[in-house]
Amino acid sequence: MEGGFGSDFGSGGGGGGKLDPGLIMEQVKVQIAVANAQELLQRMTDKCFRKCIGKPGGALDNSEQKCIAMCMDRYMDSWNTVSRAYNSRLQRERANM
């Protein structure tokens, strides 16, 4: 993903180097979504590792595997709940403008 970000901006305009604002906005949205997903994964990994792994070793035992799976499921469920509530609030506020 790195390195290609700036070089793609002018490629979809088709008109002598003109920048397409719609294309730029879509690319920015994609970059933000990727960054958000990476941050979510990193936070979830850090939190669940600290919670579930007592003594790091070469492999996870059965209880660690179960803990990691449950922790990640709970984290994703929580994140989805908060995300839905936040989006709902944004929509209500936009409707009241």
At 16 the pLDDT is 54
Q: At what angle do helices 21-52 and 62-95 cross, to 10 degrees?
A: 140
Q: Is residue 32 part of a domain?
A: yes
Contact status, residue 51 vs residue 71, Cβ threshold 8 Å: yes
| Tens of pLDDT, residue by residue, the chain (97 residues) | 444 444 444 444 445 567 888 999 999 999 999 999 999 999 999 999 999 998 888 999 999 999 999 999 999 999 999 999 999 999 999 998 8
Q: Is residue 44 part of a domain?
A: yes
Q: Is residue 4 part of a domain?
A: no
Left (φ > 0), alpha (ψ -120 to 50) or beta: where does 56 sit?
Answer: beta
Domain range enclosing 69: 23-53+60-96
Number of domains in the chain: 1
Q: Is residue 3 part of a domain?
A: no
CATH at 74: 1.10.287.810
Contact status, residue 24 vs residue 9, Cβ threshold 8 Å: yes
